[in-house]
Amino acid sequence: MKVSQRLVTASRIMGWLSVAGAVLGPVIVTLCFLFPHSTRVLDIHFNHLGADLIEAVPIEFRVPALLCALLPTGIASFALVALARLFRCYASGEVFSGRALAALSQVTSALFWYVLAGFVMQAPISLLLTYYRGHGHRAISLGFGSDDVEVLFIAGVTFVIARVMAEARRIADENEGFV
């Protein structure tokens, strides 16, 4: 399938941006947990952590909290790598190929698992970041906010789009067989 040069260019740009996000995400999360005061200037907001991520939290509690935070971050990075593969497919004219559909399905799955992992990891992260305060001042929190709903909605939309594309491909293959 011949695709327009504009689609090729846009796909290549978005592919590179996706790869950059996949790399920068874990780096930024790591820096924010290891150097919370120094990275405040970035004004990065971690869902549901509030003001608990501060330099006063001893490093021996911030590092395990970081490891917990890297699970959803790693899933997000996987989604971005799959998205980069999808854009590479588009740039090479593989709009309805099996590879493109597989990449889109991986993005969809990763978005769902990202929300789930983020929700589950909130409890250990909040406990670890407040543990140093001592008995009676520790907290375990769970939250499900509008950001989570938005990501799940996007996951649902991409799931439906992937199914529509798969059906279109099936119909095209079926019609090609009749010729």
- The answer to whether 114 and 79 are in contact (CB under 8 A) is yes
CA distance 131 to 140: 10
60/38: higher pLDDT? 60
**Residue range 3-18: average pLDDT?**
93
Judged against a pLDDT cut of 70, whether residue 38 lies above it is answered with: yes
- Separation in Å, CA 33 to CA 7, 24, 100, 147, 153: 38, 14, 35, 21, 29
pLDDT digits (tens, 9 = 90+) for 63-88: 999 999 999 999 999 999 999 999 99
Question: At residue 46, does pLDDT exceed 70?
Answer: no
Give the separation between CA 130 and CA 56, rounded to whole angstroms: 10
Distance CA 46, CA 9 (A): 32
The whole-angstrom separation of Cα 19 and Cα 25 is: 10
Among residues 101, 75, 106, the alpha carbon closest in space to that of 169 is found at 101
User: What does the domain layout of the chain look like in residue ranges?
Assistant: 5-178
pLDDT, averaged across the chain:
89
pTM of the predicted protein model: 0.86
Q: Indicate if the pLDDT at residue 90 is higher than 70.
A: yes
For the cut 60, the answer to whether the pLDDT of residue 48 exceeds it is: no
Residue 140 binned pLDDT confidence (cut-offs 50, 70, 90): confident
Label residue 1 by pLDDT band (50, 70, 90): low
Given a cut of 60, whether residue 50 has pLDDT beyond it is no
Tell me, rounded to whole angstroms, the distance of Cα 34 from its chain centroid: 21
In degrees, rounded to 5, the angle at the alpha carbon of residue 110 between the alpha carbons of residues 124 and 120 is: 15
165 close to 98: Cβ distance less than 8 angstroms: no
